[in-house]
Amino acid sequence: MEWYFLVLLSACFLASADLFMKKALTHDHALEFLLSSSFLITLFLLPFLSQMNFSFSIFSYNLIFLKALLASLAWLLFMKGVRHLELSQAIPLKNLSSLYVLILSFFFLGERLTFLQIGGILILIFGAALLELEKDLFHFVRKIKELPKKYLFFILIGLLFGAFCVLLDKIILREVEVLSFTFLHFLLLFLFYFGYSTVRYQGYQDMIAVYKKSGIFVFGFAISMVFADYLHFSALAIPTVYISLAIPLRRLGSLISTFIGGRMFHEHNLGLRFLASSFMLSGVGMLVW
């Protein structure tokens, strides 16, 4: 299967996960949700242990540990920032992650893109931002200036950590098999979140409370994320795949979640939504040309 089909399938599952997460976070705190969902994902992967291979270097184990630590910090910082800001202010900033990845991949992995591919990335980023800004398009710059600097900093640092995670993914997957890496990734995320939650809050009691309040949404998020990340890692494991192309393409999840959520069929901003969708689809064409 071509790498971009794997990334597009990953984007579909990521869009589904995003919808479940948004629903759950109306009832639960970010840490409780991340703890509960990472535990479920680890359980889902346990039956496949016999198919995993953990015979790789100590260096790769150290990289996996570092990646999981950065990922847990990235999620916590971003969600903490989002919780204290308007969603319309925070979510469009996620598009900066593609720019971070583009810069890091150039300096650390030596990825060189054509002008057409760089143009496709920029169009994808613009289309995603346009889709997510909606009616706040003309007020976005003013709102950004009014943001509490502390929470804006949390979001920007969280996105930077996330970009470094993608860089580590590419390096780790040169040696480590995809299923084994997926399992270790989520297991370590759970252990980090559980340790932090136990020290600061109520640990397993918080998990039980989340399952009682939002069990169906946590379950849906966990299932979606297993497939989303497994497909994403499978694409990155292909030696010829550039992360600077894969990550912007994965942002199509913004477009897909819009359709799944049924928002495309609202009368509000219909023209703007179709314009943003057209930008994103043309950007995809430039990436995979």
Would you list the domain boundaries of the chain? 3-47+55-288
* pLDDT for the residue numbered 274: 60
The pLDDT score that the predictor gives to residue 277 is 61
Q: pLDDT at position 138, please?
A: 54
How far CA 121 is from CA of 36, 139, 190, in Å, comes to: 34, 24, 33
Question: What's the pLDDT score for residue 16?
Answer: 87
Residue 114: left if φ>0, alpha if ψ -120 to 50, beta else—which one?
Answer: beta
pLDDT averaged per 10 residues in sequence order, the chain, 289 residues: 88 86 78 91 96 95 96 85 61 74 89 84 73 56 63 85 95 96 96 90 84 90 95 96 87 65 49 63 64
What pLDDT is recorded for position 226? Answer: 95
Please compute Rg for the chain using Cα positions.
19
DSSP for residue 234? H
pLDDT of residue 252: 74
DSSP 3-state of 25: coil
